[in-house]
């Protein structure tokens, strides 16, 4: 029977100060175990243990009742490795999630000085998401605000990105506990929060998105925690709330009025201007060259920069994105996959038809 070796196993050795783990034979490593070994500079070697090595493996957490006869128990859920007492014994938990590309945390990008590029996904289907996931964007933003997709669909779309180099941000439809905690639990790499208006909205967002003692987000064996396999991190990582990436939209007059307070929110990693709704709220819908709008956008740019916050903006096309990057913006969401498709086709069908008809 081949053993599986999970992140919790690595952490258990690490807590005992072991850097080089000696085992009789090489176990199957889950991708999280491999990542953790790498991060902690640890290694597994096979062969006889020197006298100083612990004789048995310090298993952090195993299923309480492993099947008899040496059968392999499947990890995941509260009944699995996550909360069982350290007890030693054979490693039997198996990771349920398929291995994906070894991407660094999205946080490393969001908090870097890299100019980020993404597009909205409006088609509620994993095939389109996966397809766009190979275009070279840093991320796609699954837009559940303006499209008919609920968490079940969004989860499948996020799963489809796992084998692409692209991250999955999710724009939730409204500010509610179900949407914020739910989208994080299904594994969104970042959340985009629309229609924020007041400091009360900001306080609610903080409460829903952060684990205690900062907020009241509930913990559970969700996809985010490998269905329970890696939920022990909630106990071992004192700074676990910092793994949550929150991007807040500035697209209302009220948000502009409260900007000095809003930019001080420490749990927000980036802001994002929605020029469509902002112009709508200002009574000048889609007048994108109106100085009232452009001055407001640049005021928001100045205020966020002064507070040391990164700022993104919606761009209608690639030229608009070039323009915003040149003005110091850190991230652009360049329209949507449907708009990009439409612009590739626009005029071409009619042009070819006219040519064919002219040649008759």
> Which residues make Cβ contacts (< 8 Å) with residue 33, sequence separation at least 6?
5, 6, 7, 9, 10
Q: Binding mask 194-233 vs ligand 3PY (x if CB under 6 A, - otherwise)?
A: x---------------------------------------
Does the protein bind Mg ion through residue 274 (CB under 5 A)?
yes
Using rule CB under 6 A, residue 281 touches ligand 3PY: no
Q: Which is nearer to ligand 3PY, 228 or 274 (CB)?
A: 274
Find the part of the chain contacting ligand 3PY (CB under 6 A) among 67-75, 216-224, 253-261, 274-282: 274-282
**Closest to Mg ion by CB, 194 or 228:** 194
Residue numbers 235-264 binding Mg ion by CB under 5 A: 251
The reply to whether 277 sits near Mg ion by the rule CB under 5 A is yes
DSSP collapsed to 3 states, the chain: CCCEECHHHHHHHHHCCCCEEEECCCCEECHHHHHHHHHCCCEEEECCCCCCCCCCCCCCCCCCCCCHHHCCCCCCCCCCCCCCCCCCCCCCCCCCCCCCCCCCCHHHHHCCCCCEEEEEECCCCHHHHHHHCCCCCCEEEEECCCCCCCHHHHHHHHHHCCCCCCEEEEECCCCCHHHHHHHHHCCCCEEEECCCCCHHHHHHHHHHHCCCCCCCCCCCCCHHHHHHCCCCHHHHCCCHHHHCCEEEEECCHHHHHCHHHHCCCCCCCEEEECHHHHHHHCCCCCCCCCHHHHHHHHHHHHHHHHCCCEEEEEECCHHHHHHHHHCCCCEEEEEEHHHHHHHHHCCHHHHHHHHHHHCC
Segment interacting with ligand 3PY, rule: CB under 6 A, options 62-70, 93-101, 261-269, 270-278: 270-278
Question: Which residues make Cβ contacts (< 8 Å) with residue 262, sequence separation at least 6?
Answer: 196, 199, 202, 248, 250, 255, 268
> Per CB under 6 A, does 13 bind ligand 3PY?
no
The reply to whether 27 sits near ligand 3PY by the rule CB under 6 A is no
Residue 92 CB, shortest distance to ligand 3PY, in Å, is 47
Rule CB under 6 A: is residue 337 a binding residue for ligand 3PY? no
User: In angstroms, what is the minimal distance from the CB of 333 to ligand 3PY?
Assistant: 6
- The answer, yes or no, to whether the previous bond of 314 is cis (omega within 30 of 0) is no
Q: Does 274 bind ligand 3PY (CB under 6 A)?
A: yes
Q: Are the CB atoms for 121 and 137 separated by under 8 Å?
A: no
Q: Is 4 in the site for ligand 3PY (CB under 6 A)?
A: no
Among the listed residues 276, 284, 339, 340, the single contact to ligand 3PY using CB under 6 A: 276
Number of residues that bind Mg ion (CB under 5 A): 3
Interaction partner, residue 8 (Mg ion, ligand 3PY, none; CB < 5-8 Å by kind)? none
Q: Which string of x and - marks every residue 146-175 that binds Mg ion (by CB under 5 A)?
A: ------------------------------
Instruction: Considering the complex, state which of residue 130 and residue 251 has its C-beta at the smaller distance from ligand 3PY.
Output: 251
Pick between residue 197 and residue 217 the one whose CB is nearest to ligand 3PY. Answer: 197
Strands 331-336 and 310-315: parallel
Q: How far is the CB of 161 from ligand 3PY (least distance, A)?
A: 19
Shortest Å, Cβ 36 to ligand 3PY: 36
We find the least distance from the C-beta atom of residue 336 to ligand 3PY, in angstroms, to be 9
Per-residue binding letters, 247-266, with ligand 3PY (x by CB under 6 A): --x-x---------------
Query: Are 36 and 8 within 8 A, CB to CB?
Result: no
Please select the residue that binds ligand 3PY; options are 314, 315, 331, 334, rule is CB under 6 A.
Answer: 314
Q: How many CA atoms lie within 13 A of 39 on its CB side?
A: 14
* Residue 239 CB, nearest approach to Mg ion (Å): 31
Binding site for ligand 3PY (CB under 6 A): 194, 249, 251, 274-277, 314
Binding site for Mg ion (CB under 5 A): 251, 274, 277
């Amino acid at each position: 029977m081949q053993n599986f070796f999970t992140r919790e196993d690595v952490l258990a050795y690490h807590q005992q100060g072991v850097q080089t783990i000696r085992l009789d034979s090489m176990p199957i490593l889950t991708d999280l175990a491999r990542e953790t070994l790498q991060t902690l500079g640890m290694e597994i070697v096979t062969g006889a243990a020197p006298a100083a090595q612990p004789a048995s493996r310090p298993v952090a957490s195993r299923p309480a009742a492993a099947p008899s006869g040496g059968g392999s128990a499947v990890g995941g859920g509260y009944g699995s490795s996550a909360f069982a007492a350290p007890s030693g014994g054979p490693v039997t938990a198996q990771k349920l999630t398929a291995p994906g590309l070894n991407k660094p945390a999205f946080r490393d990008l969001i908090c870097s000085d890299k100019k980020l590029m993404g597009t909205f996904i409006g088609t509620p289907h994993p095939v389109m998401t996966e397809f766009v996931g190979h275009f070279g964007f840093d991320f796609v933003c699954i837009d559940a605000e303006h499209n008919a997709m609920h968490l079940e669909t969004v989860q499948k779309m996020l799963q489809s990105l796992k084998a692409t180099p692209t991250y999955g941000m999710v724009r939730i439809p409204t500010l509610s506990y179900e949407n914020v905690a739910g989208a994080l639990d299904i594994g969104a790499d970042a959340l985009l929060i629309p229609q924020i208006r007041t400091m009360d909205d900001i306080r609610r967002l903080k409460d829903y998105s952060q684990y205690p003692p900062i907020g009241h987000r509930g913990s559970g064996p969700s996809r985010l925690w490998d269905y329970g396999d890696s939920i022990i991190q909630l106990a071992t990582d004192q700074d676990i709330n910092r793994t949550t990436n929150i991007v807040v939209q500035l697209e209302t007059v009220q948000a502009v009025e409260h900007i000095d307070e809003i930019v001080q929110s420490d749990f927000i990693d980036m802001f994002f201007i929605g020029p469509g709704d902002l112009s709508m709220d200002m009574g000048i819908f889609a007048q994108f060259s109106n100085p009232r709008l452009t001055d407001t956008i640049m005021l928001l740019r100045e205020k966020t920069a002064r507070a040391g916050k990164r700022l993104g903006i919606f761009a209608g096309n690639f030229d608009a994105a070039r323009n915003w990057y040149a003005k110091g913006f850190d991230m652009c969401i360049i329209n949507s996959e449907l708009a990009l498709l439409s612009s590739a086709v626009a005029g071409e069908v009619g042009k070819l038809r006219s040519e064919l008809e002219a040649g008759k």
